């Protein structure tokens, strides 16, 4: 007798748990042949809000641990991703007509990107901060500090690499993340939650939502608890919508435009200048050591 295959129910990852959307809605994901490949959650603004709550609660501990420890945790995430290369490569190919080699290359670049950010966790302070010259017997330092909850709006493609590269930058500095995954292919976003859960990332530090991004722009921008927004590949109309909505709460909004090749250029996507928009620079006086 032939075996009935068990298809995975894709859920969102909020507050360290795999949850269905509170709205009860789902999206049918079709593969490149137009067949039904999967159903994913169609997340709502309420899901976004509850994700922000989780991220906000997780911020104190995530920003409080040492950069060294954060680096180890991000590296662990890279290890987990490496161990599931095949699964992610297959997930990437569900909705996009790309070769298996290209899909693997995207997974590899995502792993490398995480490793780069793992490295930056205890080094970005030295690059972005400074010791300021003063005319007296004391010190004046400028030190970067994470802001809080950063919302990430992933590009349609590359569906995995785009998400990882955008969330890595604010994450490594100690911000907590609410990411809305690719509209084009939500499956890598859905399974990235499993990587987070098995890699010592504390609950609430990374929250992953799938759904229709355009529905959420307004709510992401106007939510006052969100300190920053990081996105790429948005239309001008949507950029204006987000910037206008963010003005009231003075959010940091960063739109990058990476070309297809740029995404694979670690120096570009994992540059400390992509971390810089999501830190506050605090300048402090310090008495001389002697």
Give the interface with another protein as residue ranges (CB under 8 A). 49, 52, 56, 219, 222-225, 245, 248-249
| Residue placing its CB nearer to another protein in the complex, 125 or 246 | 246
> How far apart are CB 2 and another protein at their closest, in Å?
42
Strands across the sheet with 279-287, in order?
130-131, 138-146, 279-287
> How far apart are CB 225 and another protein at their closest, in Å?
4
Residue 87 class from Cβ within 10 Å (0-12 exposed, 13-18 middle, 19+ buried)? middle
What pairing do the DSSP bridges indicate for beta strands 226-232 and 26-30? unpaired
> How far apart are CB 61 and another protein at their closest, in Å?
16
- Give the C-alpha separation, 93 to 31, whole Å: 8
Token duo for residue 213: 């991004």
| Residue placing its CB nearer to another protein in the complex, 60 or 126 | 60
| Residue placing its CB nearer to another protein in the complex, 52 or 80 | 52
Token duo for residue 280: 């506050």
> How far apart are CB 138 and another protein at their closest, in Å?
32
Contact assessment for residue 253 and residue 228, using Cβ atoms and an 8 Å cutoff: yes
- Give the C-alpha separation, 191 to 180, whole Å: 13
| Residue placing its CB nearer to another protein in the complex, 175 or 182 | 175
Q: Is the peptide bond before 44 cis (omega within 30 degrees of 0)?
A: no
| Residue placing its CB nearer to another protein in the complex, 159 or 176 | 176
- Give the C-alpha separation, 164 to 99, whole Å: 21
| Residue placing its CB nearer to another protein in the complex, 37 or 52 | 52
* Backbone phi, psi, residue 122, to 5°: -110, 20
> How far apart are CB 224 and another protein at their closest, in Å?
4
> How far apart are CB 193 and another protein at their closest, in Å?
24
Nearest Cα residue to 213 out of 155, 168, 258: 155
> How far apart are CB 222 and another protein at their closest, in Å?
4
Contact assessment for residue 241 and residue 219, using Cβ atoms and an 8 Å cutoff: no
| Residue placing its CB nearer to another protein in the complex, 147 or 182 | 147
């Amino acid at each position: 007798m032939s075996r009935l295959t068990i298809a995975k129910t894709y859920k969102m990852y909020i507050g360290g748990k795999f949850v269905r959307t509170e709205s009860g809605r789902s999206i049918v994901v079709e593969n490149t042949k137009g067949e039904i490949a999967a159903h994913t959650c169609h997340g709502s603004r309420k899901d976004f809000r509850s994700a922000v709550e989780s991220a906000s609660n997780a911020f104190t501990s995530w920003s409080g641990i040492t950069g060294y420890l954060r680096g180890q945790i991000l590296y662990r995430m890279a290890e987990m991703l490496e161990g599931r290369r095949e699964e992610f490569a297959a997930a990437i190919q569900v909705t996009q007509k790309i070769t298996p080699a290209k899909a693997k290359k995207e997974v590899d670049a995502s792993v490398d990107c995480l490793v780069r950010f793992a490295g930056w966790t205890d080094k970005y302070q030295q690059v972005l901060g400074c010791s300021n010259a003063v005319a007296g017997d004391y010190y004046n330092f400028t030190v970067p500090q994470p802001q809080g909850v950063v919302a990430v709006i992933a590009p349609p493609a590359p569906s995995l690499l785009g998400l990882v590269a955008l969330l890595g930058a604010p994450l490594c500095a100690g911000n907590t993340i609410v990411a809305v995954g690719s509209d084009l292919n939500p499956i890598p976003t859905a399974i990235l939650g499993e990587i987070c859960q098995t890699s010592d990332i504390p609950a609430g530090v990374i929250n992953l939502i799938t759904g229709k991004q355009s529905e959420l722009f307004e709510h992401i921008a106007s939510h006052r608890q969100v300190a920053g927004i990081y996105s790429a590949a948005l239309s001008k109309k949507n950029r204006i919508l987000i910037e206008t909505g963010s003005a009231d709460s003075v959010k940091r909004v960063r739109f990058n435009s990476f070309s297809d090749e740029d995404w694979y250029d670690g120096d570009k996507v994992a540059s400390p200048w992509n971390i810089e928009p999501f830190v506050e620079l605090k300048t402090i006086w310090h008495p001389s050591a002697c």
